[in-house]
Amino acid sequence: MPTKNKGKAAKAKPAKAKKPANSGAATERAKVLSSKVVFECKLFRVYHDKIIEPGGQQNERDVIRHNGSVVILALDNAKHKRDPWIVMERQYRHAANQYLWELPAGKIDEGEEPLAAAQRELIEETGYRAKKWRPLVEYFASPGFLGEAMKVFVAEGLEAGEAEPEDDEVIELRLVRLSEVLKMIKKGAIMDGKTLTSVLLYDRFHRSRSTD
Protein backbone atom coordinates (compact mmCIF):
# COMPACT_ATOMS: atom_id res chain seq x y z
CA MET A 1 0.00 0.00 0.00
CA PRO A 2 1.53 3.32 -1.00
CA THR A 3 2.39 5.73 1.78
CA LYS A 4 0.73 9.13 1.91
CA ASN A 5 2.79 12.21 1.46
CA LYS A 6 1.97 14.34 4.48
CA GLY A 7 3.96 17.33 3.26
CA LYS A 8 2.43 20.12 1.18
CA ALA A 9 2.63 19.72 -2.57
CA ALA A 10 5.51 21.73 -3.97
CA LYS A 11 4.34 24.62 -6.14
CA ALA A 12 5.93 24.96 -9.50
CA LYS A 13 8.01 28.11 -9.67
CA PRO A 14 7.59 30.23 -12.79
CA ALA A 15 10.62 30.10 -15.00
CA LYS A 16 12.63 33.28 -15.06
CA ALA A 17 12.82 34.96 -18.41
CA LYS A 18 16.31 34.82 -19.80
CA LYS A 19 17.89 38.03 -20.92
CA PRO A 20 18.88 38.17 -24.59
CA ALA A 21 22.52 37.43 -25.22
CA ASN A 22 24.65 40.56 -24.84
CA SER A 23 21.67 42.55 -23.51
CA GLY A 24 22.86 45.98 -22.52
CA ALA A 25 25.61 45.77 -25.12
CA ALA A 26 23.80 47.86 -27.73
CA THR A 27 26.76 50.24 -27.93
CA GLU A 28 29.32 47.51 -28.63
CA ARG A 29 31.00 47.78 -32.00
CA ALA A 30 33.06 45.49 -34.16
CA LYS A 31 36.82 46.00 -34.24
CA VAL A 32 37.72 46.89 -37.83
CA LEU A 33 40.98 45.25 -38.87
CA SER A 34 40.89 46.68 -42.40
CA SER A 35 38.40 48.49 -44.63
CA LYS A 36 38.70 48.92 -48.40
CA VAL A 37 36.45 50.78 -50.84
CA VAL A 38 35.72 48.36 -53.70
CA PHE A 39 33.09 50.46 -55.48
CA GLU A 40 31.96 54.08 -55.34
CA CYS A 41 29.20 56.15 -57.01
CA LYS A 42 27.36 59.36 -56.20
CA LEU A 43 24.83 57.59 -53.94
CA PHE A 44 26.95 55.16 -51.91
CA ARG A 45 30.22 53.32 -51.39
CA VAL A 46 30.80 49.59 -51.06
CA TYR A 47 33.39 48.55 -48.48
CA HIS A 48 35.06 45.20 -47.93
CA ASP A 49 35.75 45.04 -44.19
CA LYS A 50 37.74 42.56 -42.14
CA ILE A 51 36.42 42.70 -38.58
CA ILE A 52 36.25 41.10 -35.18
CA GLU A 53 32.61 41.19 -34.10
CA PRO A 54 31.56 41.92 -30.47
CA GLY A 55 31.13 38.19 -29.81
CA GLY A 56 34.75 37.54 -30.80
CA GLN A 57 34.17 36.06 -34.27
CA GLN A 58 36.50 37.22 -37.04
CA ASN A 59 34.63 37.81 -40.31
CA GLU A 60 34.77 39.58 -43.64
CA ARG A 61 31.77 41.71 -44.62
CA ASP A 62 30.81 43.63 -47.75
CA VAL A 63 28.84 46.69 -46.67
CA ILE A 64 27.12 49.49 -48.59
CA ARG A 65 27.71 52.75 -46.72
CA HIS A 66 25.18 55.53 -47.18
CA ASN A 67 24.55 58.92 -45.57
CA GLY A 68 21.04 57.79 -44.64
CA SER A 69 17.62 58.70 -45.97
CA VAL A 70 14.47 60.46 -44.91
CA VAL A 71 10.87 59.40 -45.52
CA ILE A 72 7.96 61.83 -45.37
CA LEU A 73 4.45 60.81 -44.38
CA ALA A 74 2.76 64.03 -45.52
CA LEU A 75 -0.83 64.34 -44.33
CA ASP A 76 -3.65 66.65 -45.36
CA ASN A 77 -5.81 66.20 -42.27
CA ALA A 78 -7.32 69.66 -41.75
CA LYS A 79 -10.85 68.40 -42.38
CA HIS A 80 -10.45 64.64 -42.05
CA LYS A 81 -8.30 63.83 -39.03
CA ARG A 82 -9.55 60.25 -38.73
CA ASP A 83 -8.98 59.44 -42.40
CA PRO A 84 -6.45 61.96 -43.73
CA TRP A 85 -5.22 62.30 -47.28
CA ILE A 86 -1.67 60.97 -47.75
CA VAL A 87 0.74 62.31 -50.37
CA MET A 88 1.71 59.28 -52.46
CA GLU A 89 4.03 58.85 -55.42
CA ARG A 90 4.10 56.32 -58.23
CA GLN A 91 7.34 55.89 -60.10
CA TYR A 92 9.32 53.28 -61.98
CA ARG A 93 12.05 51.54 -59.98
CA HIS A 94 14.58 49.73 -62.15
CA ALA A 95 15.94 47.62 -59.27
CA ALA A 96 12.42 46.25 -58.68
CA ASN A 97 11.70 46.19 -62.43
CA GLN A 98 8.26 47.72 -61.94
CA TYR A 99 6.29 50.79 -60.91
CA LEU A 100 5.87 51.21 -57.15
CA TRP A 101 3.61 53.28 -54.93
CA GLU A 102 5.74 55.07 -52.35
CA LEU A 103 5.92 57.90 -49.85
CA PRO A 104 8.19 60.83 -50.73
CA ALA A 105 11.76 60.09 -49.67
CA GLY A 106 15.38 60.84 -50.44
CA LYS A 107 18.95 60.74 -49.25
CA ILE A 108 20.49 63.01 -46.65
CA ASP A 109 23.27 65.11 -48.13
CA GLU A 110 26.69 65.26 -46.48
CA GLY A 111 26.45 67.40 -43.33
CA GLU A 112 22.70 67.90 -43.70
CA GLU A 113 20.32 67.53 -40.74
CA PRO A 114 17.58 64.88 -41.24
CA LEU A 115 14.71 67.35 -40.74
CA ALA A 116 16.21 69.79 -43.26
CA ALA A 117 16.61 66.90 -45.72
CA ALA A 118 12.97 65.87 -45.23
CA GLN A 119 11.74 69.41 -45.82
CA ARG A 120 13.91 69.73 -48.93
CA GLU A 121 12.83 66.38 -50.38
CA LEU A 122 9.13 67.09 -49.84
CA ILE A 123 9.41 70.35 -51.80
CA GLU A 124 11.58 68.86 -54.56
CA GLU A 125 9.39 65.80 -55.19
CA THR A 126 5.90 67.14 -54.49
CA GLY A 127 5.99 70.94 -54.15
CA TYR A 128 4.31 70.69 -50.74
CA ARG A 129 5.50 72.52 -47.66
CA ALA A 130 4.39 71.60 -44.15
CA LYS A 131 3.87 73.73 -41.06
CA LYS A 132 4.23 70.91 -38.53
CA TRP A 133 6.90 68.20 -38.44
CA ARG A 134 7.51 65.35 -36.01
CA PRO A 135 9.58 62.15 -36.10
CA LEU A 136 7.76 58.83 -36.35
CA VAL A 137 10.44 56.12 -36.41
CA GLU A 138 13.99 55.36 -37.51
CA TYR A 139 15.02 51.95 -38.84
CA PHE A 140 17.58 50.11 -40.96
CA ALA A 141 16.19 49.02 -44.31
CA SER A 142 18.38 45.91 -44.77
CA PRO A 143 21.12 45.72 -42.12
CA GLY A 144 22.60 42.48 -43.41
CA PHE A 145 24.61 44.42 -46.00
CA LEU A 146 23.22 47.96 -46.14
CA GLY A 147 24.27 50.65 -43.65
CA GLU A 148 21.43 52.99 -44.65
CA ALA A 149 19.24 54.23 -41.79
CA MET A 150 15.86 55.65 -42.73
CA LYS A 151 14.28 58.35 -40.56
CA VAL A 152 10.55 58.85 -41.01
CA PHE A 153 8.84 62.19 -40.38
CA VAL A 154 5.14 63.01 -40.21
CA ALA A 155 4.41 66.32 -41.96
CA GLU A 156 1.11 68.16 -41.37
CA GLY A 157 -0.40 71.50 -42.28
CA LEU A 158 0.37 71.17 -45.98
CA GLU A 159 0.62 74.03 -48.45
CA ALA A 160 0.77 73.22 -52.17
CA GLY A 161 3.56 74.61 -54.34
CA GLU A 162 5.68 73.87 -57.39
CA ALA A 163 7.67 70.63 -57.39
CA GLU A 164 11.38 70.70 -58.29
CA PRO A 165 12.23 67.09 -59.25
CA GLU A 166 15.70 66.05 -60.35
CA ASP A 167 16.32 65.38 -64.04
CA ASP A 168 15.99 61.60 -63.68
CA GLU A 169 12.83 61.71 -61.54
CA VAL A 170 9.50 61.05 -63.28
CA ILE A 171 6.92 61.05 -60.50
CA GLU A 172 3.15 60.63 -60.63
CA LEU A 173 1.67 62.40 -57.60
CA ARG A 174 -1.59 61.42 -55.91
CA LEU A 175 -3.47 62.23 -52.71
CA VAL A 176 -4.90 58.99 -51.29
CA ARG A 177 -7.01 58.52 -48.17
CA LEU A 178 -5.37 56.57 -45.33
CA SER A 179 -8.19 54.01 -45.49
CA GLU A 180 -7.51 53.47 -49.19
CA VAL A 181 -3.77 53.10 -48.66
CA LEU A 182 -4.49 50.44 -46.02
CA LYS A 183 -6.70 48.60 -48.54
CA MET A 184 -3.88 48.77 -51.08
CA ILE A 185 -1.51 47.28 -48.52
CA LYS A 186 -3.96 44.48 -47.74
CA LYS A 187 -4.27 43.66 -51.46
CA GLY A 188 -0.49 43.62 -51.90
CA ALA A 189 -0.56 46.66 -54.18
CA ILE A 190 2.13 48.42 -52.10
CA MET A 191 5.48 46.62 -52.01
CA ASP A 192 7.79 49.44 -50.93
CA GLY A 193 9.20 48.74 -47.46
CA LYS A 194 9.47 52.31 -46.21
CA THR A 195 5.84 52.97 -47.17
CA LEU A 196 4.58 49.79 -45.50
CA THR A 197 6.53 50.55 -42.32
CA SER A 198 5.54 54.21 -42.12
CA VAL A 199 1.84 53.88 -42.93
CA LEU A 200 1.19 50.86 -40.72
CA LEU A 201 3.03 52.37 -37.74
CA TYR A 202 1.23 55.68 -38.18
CA ASP A 203 -2.12 53.91 -38.42
CA ARG A 204 -1.43 52.02 -35.21
CA PHE A 205 -0.37 55.14 -33.29
CA HIS A 206 -3.10 57.27 -34.92
CA ARG A 207 -5.86 54.84 -33.95
CA SER A 208 -4.55 54.46 -30.39
CA ARG A 209 -4.61 58.25 -29.91
CA SER A 210 -8.08 58.64 -31.41
CA THR A 211 -9.52 56.02 -29.04
CA ASP A 212 -7.90 57.42 -25.85
List, for residues 151-174, the tens digit of each pLDDT value.
999 999 999 999 887 777 789 999
User: pLDDT tens digits, residue range 82-140?
Assistant: 899 999 999 999 999 999 999 999 999 999 999 999 999 999 999 999 999 999 999 99
Report pTM: 0.83
Lowest mean pLDDT among 9-23, 49-63, 125-139: 9-23
Question: What local confidence, expressed as pLDDT, does residue 78 receive?
Answer: 78
- The domain 69-209 belongs to what CATH superfamily? Nucleoside Triphosphate Pyrophosphohydrolase (3.90.79.10)
pLDDT at 10 exceeding the cut of 80: no
Average pLDDT, the chain: 88
Lowest mean pLDDT among 17-26, 125-134, 140-149: 17-26
What is the average pLDDT across 21-25?
49
What is the average pLDDT across 63-75?
96
Question: What local confidence, expressed as pLDDT, does residue 9 receive?
Answer: 47
Share of the chain above pLDDT 70, in %: 85
What is the average pLDDT across 8-15?
49
Angle between helices 193-210 and 178-187 (to 10 degrees): 130
Quickly list DSSP for 129-194.
EEEEEEEEEEEES-TTTB--EEEEEEEEEEE-------TT---EEEEEEHHHHHHHHHHT----HH
Domain positions in the chain are 31-65, 69-209
Residues 32 and 48: beta-carbon distance below 8 Å: no
Position 209 confidence tier, pLDDT thresholds 50, 70, 90? low
The CA distance from 212 to 207, in Å, is: 9
| Residue of 188 and 43 predicted with greater confidence | 188
Cα Rg of the chain (Å, integer): 24
pLDDT at 57 exceeding the cut of 50: yes
- φ/ψ (deg, to 5) at 114: -55, -40
| Residue type for position 15 | A
Share of the chain above pLDDT 90, in %: 74
Residues 114 and 108: beta-carbon distance below 8 Å: yes
